[in-house]
């Protein structure tokens, strides 16, 4: 899940309120605010580092005070080493601080991993990006004007297929009444395809998690293995990402992690939604990772450690999204302008209880910001998270 957090907020607010009233969800109190010391500083801070860290600490304090987040972290990495700064609490009851090695649900950051595997398959000539979806999933995309014979694999990955977005057609109240329920990918796809396309394939741009559910199905059809197994085999294990998981039906987050909270409204108490079956997001957003692992993944990706040059160029061939901030979308990877010049590459993601924003430059600097509330009740949280990434990258 990602770009639809504002669209879904009202429905989630109602759903959470219903869940608390029915006793299916637990409301927590507001956290005490506190900052914690930096973790794993790579070397002695220079004056430039000190100024940068001061700016980042100010943003983290804003995220965990006026923005209403319980806890937050920013993980930074460059050729000299890594640093993590944290603020706030991982648990509003115990007031335990956020750990620098915390795992979060990373939501739509999953899409970058999925697109990487698909492009690896393209490099192996097992998938043709401009082939119709029908070639790999015969008869799957049909009905209400949707036709897999008319849309391509590339269009799924770039959100230009016009396939209706499952996030527009899920009922959050149904998810939150039974957050541990399994959701079958084909059922989710069929729910989306019961609605007409948003435009003809190739004639527009609109974010659609359904496209990535279909991409996961294509990976499984081509390789004979679940898309998650391919991510583990092709990305997680080669890079040694020990804090990254494709959980499937597992509702627990392995290893150290903050509690994940939903805030039904700006002044409402937090609701604990740490345990949820992530199959509801599937290949569109189910993964778990840490800031350090996300940074390592983006660095390897942009350096060409995961894709051949031709496929990396395809991934980074973007088209405008129409967003006034200048964002452009490639294949599972987006670019945004930096105030200090140039672009950064990355993705954002949110899943009930957690939000992540990550970016990297081609010069070898990465930054990932994570907060343990989603939705947070205001729009300011996402804006401040992006500001933290820009600040970290514009050293």
Active site residues: 108
How far is 149 from 133, CA to CA, in rounded Å?
6
Q: Sort residue 12 into left (φ over 0), alpha (ψ -120 to 50) or beta.
A: alpha
Token couple for 115: 């697109």
Number of CB atoms found within 10 A of residue 273's CB: 25
Instruction: Enter the tokens of residue 318.
Output: 């973007």
For residue 341 the two structure tokens come to 């010049």
CA–CA separation, 152 and 143 (whole Å): 17
Per-residue tokens: 14: 């109602």
Cα separation, 98 vs 384, whole angstroms: 18
Q: Which residue has the tokens 């990772």?
A: 289
Residue 265 CA, distance from chain mean position: 22
Task: Tell me the CA distances in angstroms from 390 to 171, 334, 383, one per residue in order.
Answer: 34, 14, 11
Q: Where are the beta strands (DSSP E) in the chain?
A: 26-28, 35-39, 71-78, 81-88, 103-105, 142-143, 146-147, 261-262, 270-272, 288-290, 319-320, 328-329, 334-337, 343-351, 354-360, 366-371
């Amino acid at each position: 899940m990602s770009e639809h957090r504002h669209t879904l907020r009202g429905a989630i607010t109602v759903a959470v309120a219903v869940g608390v009233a029915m006793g299916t969800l637990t409301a927590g109190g507001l956290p005490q605010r506190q900052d914690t010391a930096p973790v794993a500083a790579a070397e002695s801070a220079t004056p430039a580092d000190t100024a940068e860290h001061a700016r980042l600490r100010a943003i983290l304090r804003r995220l965990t005070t006026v923005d209403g987040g319980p806890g937050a972290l920013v993980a930074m990495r460059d050729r000299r080493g890594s640093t993590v700064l944290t603020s706030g609490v991982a648990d509003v009851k115990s007031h335990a601080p956020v750990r620098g090695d915390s795992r979060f649900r990373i939501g739509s950051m999953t899409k970058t991993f999925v697109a990487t595997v698909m492009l690896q398959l393209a490099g192996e000539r097992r998938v043709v990006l401009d082939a119709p979806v029908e070639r790999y999933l015969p008869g799957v995309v049909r009905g209400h004007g949707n036709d897999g014979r008319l849309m391509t694999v590339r269009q799924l990955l770039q959100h230009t297929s016009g396939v209706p977005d499952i996030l527009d057609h899920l009922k959050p109240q149904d998810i939150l009444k039974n957050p541990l329920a399994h959701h079958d990918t084909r059922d989710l796809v069929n729910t989306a395809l019961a609605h007409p396309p948003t435009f003809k394939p190739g004639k527009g741009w609109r974010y659609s998690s359904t496209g990535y559910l279909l991409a996961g199905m294509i990976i499984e059809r081509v390789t004979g293995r679940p898309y998650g197994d391919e991510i583990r085999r092709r990305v997680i294990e080669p890079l040694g990402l020990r804090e990254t998981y494709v959980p499937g039906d597992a509702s627990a987050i392995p290893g150290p992690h903050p509690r994940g909270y939903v805030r039904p409204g700006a002044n409402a108490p937090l609701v604990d939604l740490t345990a949820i079956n992530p199959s509801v997001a599937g290949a569109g957003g189910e993964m778990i990772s840490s800031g350090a692992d996300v940074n390592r993944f983006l660095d390897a990706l942009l350096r060409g450690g995961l894709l051949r040059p031709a496929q990396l160029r395809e991934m980074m061939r973007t088209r405008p999204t129409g967003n006034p901030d200048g964002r452009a979308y490639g294949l599972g990877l987006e670019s945004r302008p930096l105030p200090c010049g140039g672009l950064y590459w990355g993705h954002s993601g949110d899943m009930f209880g957690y939000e992540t924003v990550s970016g990297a430059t081609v010069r070898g600097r990465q930054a990932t910001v994570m907060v343990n509330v989603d939705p947070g009740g205001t729009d300011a949280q996402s804006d401040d998270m992006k500001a933290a990434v820009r600040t970290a990258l514009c050293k």
